[in-house]
Amino acid sequence: EAGVAQSPRYKIIEKRQSVAFWCNPISGHATLYWYQQILGQGPKLLIQFQNNGVVDDSQLPKDRFSAERLKGVDSTLKIQPAKLEDSAVYLCASSDRTLGDYGYTFGSGTRLTVV
């Protein structure tokens, strides 16, 4: 089966600019996650969707980050305006427990550098 697709793979922007990342989860997976992985650290959950609804966005810096999952399939994560500390890899993951599968599948990530 196709994996979790993310684009772009790399992005370099100047601080105060805006940027958007795209994720296409595994077909049929109802739950979608965005994680932020800062260099040298483990991934940190930013937001979790179930279909097109937000389940948990408690760790999302809402003054600058936003995310949506229209139609319950693809998702976009936006940062506006970006700060230097937003430099990280942004990972998208999906899962679906309706068939008793407890696995999570991660995409290749988008590496963001803010200069």
Partner 1 sequence: ELKVEQNPLFLSMQEGKNYTIYCNYSTTSDRLYWYRQDPGKSLESLFVLLSNGAVKQEGRLMASLDTKARLSTLHITAAVHDLSATYFCAVDFDRGSTLGRLYFGRGTQLTVWP
User: Residue numbers of the site for partner 1 (CB under 8 A)?
Assistant: 31, 33, 40-45, 48, 50, 55-56, 91, 93, 95, 97, 102-109, 111
d(CA 24, CA 71): 12
Give the nearer residue to partner 1 in terms of CB position, either 38 or 84. 38
Give the nearer residue to partner 1 in terms of CB position, either 19 or 92. 92
Give the nearer residue to partner 1 in terms of CB position, either 66 or 105. 105
Characterize 79-90 residue by residue with b for buried, 16 or more Cβ atoms within 10 angstroms of its Cβ, and e for exposed.
beebeeebbbbb
